């Protein structure tokens, strides 16, 4: 098995800086036996796809709408992403849920649409701080899995467990906290599904997280914006997986 290291650029990197990022990262990727995916903003995608064409770096989108086409101003469909050379798509990131009000029903429709088009969805789930502190973490995770994956074949889906209190806060879940939830998700889904951890992953904590038995990789926000830190996280993943073999 190889680690999956994913970089969610959020609203960062122009087409120009995105292209430069790919060139710099690719210069180091020679012997990297990992699945590496970057998720640029929509307008940055074409230049990044072009720059990544002859590299081992894959490209994803941060969001999509579930309808194929039509009067949905500002939205982008799965088919459009696929045609632009995108392979993965993040669905249900907590920023989409909390800032843009995305519901589990909408996320479920998006997942079905992404899979129908042949994209690989990365479904983000995770509990709020008050849910963790009141002992509701597993209930929240179970609720999201049931609602988001209703009628969905999980074979081609990647799950990202991202505790909301750990995203962009510098406060990472401990490897034990993360492993406990990953083990729960893995058992709930019957195994065989890749489960990434996300939430303030950095070169300094990436190894300890990825060496856990049920952590198959990481979804990285802030630390994915610079090629050198992102590359250090990839290296940490390779070391962790070498040990897990």
Binding flag, residue 40, ligand PEP (CB under 6 A): no
Of the candidates 155, 178, 154, 165, which has an alpha carbon nearest to the alpha carbon of residue 240? 178
Q: Which stretch binds ligand PEP (CB under 6 A): 104-112, 127-135, 174-182, 196-204?
A: 196-204
Binding flag, residue 220, ligand PEP (CB under 6 A): yes
**152: helix, strand or coil:** coil
In the stretch 112-151, what mask flags binding to ligand PEP with x, by CB under 6 A? ----------------------------------------
Q: Which is nearer to ligand PEP, 69 or 171 (CB)?
A: 171
Of the candidate residues 168, 174, 204, 243, the single one contacting ligand PEP (CB under 6 A): 168
**122: helix, strand or coil:** strand
Binding flag, residue 227, ligand PEP (CB under 6 A): no
| Residue from 19, 95, 102, 162 carrying the catalytic annotation | 162
| Residue from 13, 19, 93, 127 carrying the catalytic annotation | 93
Beta-bridge mates of residue 6: 37, 219
Q: Where are the strands (E) in the chain, listed by range?
A: 4-8, 35-39, 57-61, 88-91, 120-125, 158-161, 194-198, 217-220
What tokens does 239 get? 């070391």
Binding flag, residue 37, ligand PEP (CB under 6 A): no
Spatial separation of the C-alpha atoms in residues 13 and 199, rounded to whole Å: 20
Of the candidate residues 162, 179, 216, 232, the single one contacting ligand PEP (CB under 6 A): 162
Q: How far is CA 142 from the centre of its chain?
A: 19
Q: What are the residues whose beta carbons fall under 8 Å from the beta carbon of 174, sequence distance 6 or more? A: none
Of the candidate residues 18, 198, 217, 227, the single one contacting ligand PEP (CB under 6 A): 198
Of the candidates 192, 197, 159, which has an alpha carbon nearest to the alpha carbon of residue 178? 197
H or E element, residue 188: helix 175-189
Q: How far is the CB of 8 from ligand PEP (least distance, A)?
A: 4
Q: Which is nearer to ligand PEP, 7 or 106 (CB)?
A: 7
Active site residue 182: no
Of the candidate residues 8, 62, 63, 205, the single one contacting ligand PEP (CB under 6 A): 8
Cβ-contact 36, 63 below 8 angstroms: no
Q: List, by residue number, the catalytic residues.
A: 93, 162
Tell me which residues touch ligand PEP (CB under 6 A): 8, 162, 167-168, 198-201, 219-223
């Amino acid at each position: 098995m190889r680690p999956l290291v994913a970089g969610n650029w959020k609203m960062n990197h122009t087409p120009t800086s995105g292209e430069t990022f790919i060139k710099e990262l690719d210069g180091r990727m020679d012997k990297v036996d990992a699945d590496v995916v970057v998720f640029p903003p929509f307008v940055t995608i074409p230049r990044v796809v072009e720059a990544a064409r002859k590299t081992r770096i894959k490209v994803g989108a941060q969001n999509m709408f579930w309808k194929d086409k039509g009067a949905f101003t500002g939205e982008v469909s799965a088919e459009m992403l696929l045609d632009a050379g995108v392979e993965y798509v993040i669905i249900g990131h907590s920023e989409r849920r909390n800032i843009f009000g995305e519901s589990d029903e909408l996320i479920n429709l998006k997942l079905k649409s992404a899979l129908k088009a042949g994209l690989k969805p990365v479904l983000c789930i995770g509990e709020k701080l008050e849910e963790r502190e009141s002992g509701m973490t597993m209930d929240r995770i179970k609720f999201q899995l049931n609602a988001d994956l209703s009628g969905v074949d999980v074979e081609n889906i990647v799950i990202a467990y991202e505790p909301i209190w750990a995203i962009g806060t510098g406060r990472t879940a401990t490897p034990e906290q993360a492993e406990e939830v990953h083990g729960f998700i893995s058992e709930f889904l019957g195994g065989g599904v890749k489960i990434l951890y996300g939430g303030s992953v950095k070169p300094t904590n990436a190894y300890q997280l990825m060496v856990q038995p049920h952590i198959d990789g990481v979804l990285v926000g802030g630390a994915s914006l610079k090629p050198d830190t992102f590359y250090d996280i990839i290296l940490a993943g390779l070391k962790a997986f070498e040990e897990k073999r």
